Amino acid sequence: MKNTSPMSIQMIKGVLIDLDNTLYSYEECHQAGLRSSLKQLHKAHPEVDSELFFEEYKLIQSDLKIKLEKTAASHHRLIYFQSILEKLNIWNSKLCLDLYHSYWNNFLAKMALFDNALLFLKELKSKQIPIVIVTDLVAQIQFEKILKLDIDQYIDFIVTSEEVGIEKPNQVIFKSALKKIQCKANEVVMIGDSFDKDIIGAIELGIQAFWYDPDKKWLGGRELPQYTKISSFKELDAIIK
């Protein structure tokens, strides 16, 4: 692993930050949403096997991410549930929407910021450093997540893959963020949990990157560009002084 020399807080004119799995735990919320959707499905069709439901979800998710590669629609839960119900030969629009709303209602209810994330956002705001959420997925859901986390007052802009038409690590999404805060690549930092999407995407544009990796993932000896690895927001706060 190679680390950069971090920028001082005085040098930073903007912060780009991912949302899912960077500011909160996505997987915990996702599992809560899926369990709720299954419960909703069983109200109408108790005969559906639970394991089959989860297996079909994974298969359809994988298929759609290939079919709709690098687009926000590849994450759309309504399309996932539509495909599952069609495959089980039990589709109808009301049931599909019921599963969709049940998923997101319970997903959002489970959300909570990672430790010290709020303090970090508050510090940036106190220093008048603009913050841009740079995220894949559809805009409406990402907006709702921001409201649920109660961080709307700290976020200056958001850029979604739905808005720009392509996902990270494509430079278009990062360039859109830079344009919104009127900064150059060497004036901002990017913080995210996905090495391939957040870190590689930022570095290729000349943005200093902070890889948020609380699980200490192993990258298998890959030849890596320069970046800074952190495992907590407290650590990040200490680095960006």
Q: pLDDT tens for residues 206-228?
A: 999 999 998 877 665 555 667 89
- Tell me if the domain spanning 14-24+112-239 has CATH number 3.40.630.10: no
**CA 77/CA 70 separation, integer angstroms:** 16
Q: What are phi and psi of 137, to 5 degrees?
A: 95, 175
pLDDT at residue number 65: 85
pLDDT in tens, 4-30: 556 555 689 999 999 999 999 999 999
Q: What confidence tens digit (pLDDT) does each residue in 181-212 have?
A: 999 999 999 999 999 999 999 999 999 999 99
Q: What percent of the chain has pLDDT over 90?
A: 80
Percent of the chain residues topping a pLDDT of 70: 92
Which three-class secondary structure string do you get for 24-39? ECHHHHHHHHHHHHHH
**From 18, 136, 193, 198, active-site residue:** 18
Helices 93-110 & 26-44 angle (0-180, nearest 10): 150
Whether residue 237 lies in the annotated active site = no
| 20 has catalytic annotation | yes
pLDDT of 39 > 60? The answer is yes
For the chain, the maximum distance between any two Cα atoms, rounded to a whole number of angstroms, is 61
The predicted pLDDT at position 66 comes to 87
Confidence check: pLDDT of 239 > 90:
no
pLDDT of residue 70: 77
Catalytic residue (choose from 20, 136, 193, 198): 20
Give the mean model confidence (pLDDT) for residues 169-191.
97
Residue 240: name the closest of 190, 204, 183 by CA. Answer: 190
- What are the boundaries of each domain within the chain? 14-24+112-239, 27-110
pLDDT top residue among 89 and 64: 89
Compute the distance between CA of residue 129 and CA of residue 141 in angstroms, rounded to an integer. 25
